[in-house]
Amino acid sequence: MENQDKDILRVGRRLLPVLLLGLGLAGCYGPSALELDYGNSVRNNIAQQLVNPRAGLTPTPAVGLPPQAAVNELEKYDKSFKAEEKKALEMKLLSQ
C-alpha cells in the first residue's frame, strides 16, 4: 500500500508541471471566430437607426397596401394553404 502511494505521488509530481504548462498555453490562443464577430449585430442595428434619425418624428405613418388590397391578399394567402391541404389529402387517399 505504501509503495502505491509513493508511485502515485511520483506520477503526480511529474504530471503537475505538464498540466500547469498546458493551462498556461491555453490562455495564449487567439480569439475564436465567435469572439471576432462579437458586437457586429449591435453596431449594425445602430447604423441602421442612424440612416434616418428623424424617421420617428414624422406624423404620417408608413404607407403600405390599401386596406381592401391587403384583405384580398390575406384571403388569397389563406386559400393557398387550404388548396395544399386538399391536395395532400387527395394524394393520401389515392395512395391507399
pLDDT in tens, 50-94: 777 777 787 877 678 888 999 999 998 888 877 666 677 677 777
- Percent above pLDDT 70 for the chain: 90
- In sequence order, which ranges of the chain are alpha helices (DSSP H)? 2-26, 33-36, 40-50, 67-95
Distance CA 89, CA 24 (A): 64
More reliable by pLDDT, 50 or 18: 18
Copy the grid coordinates of residue 4: 502505491
Q: First-to-last CA distance in the chain?
A: 74
Distance CA 49, CA 56 (A): 10
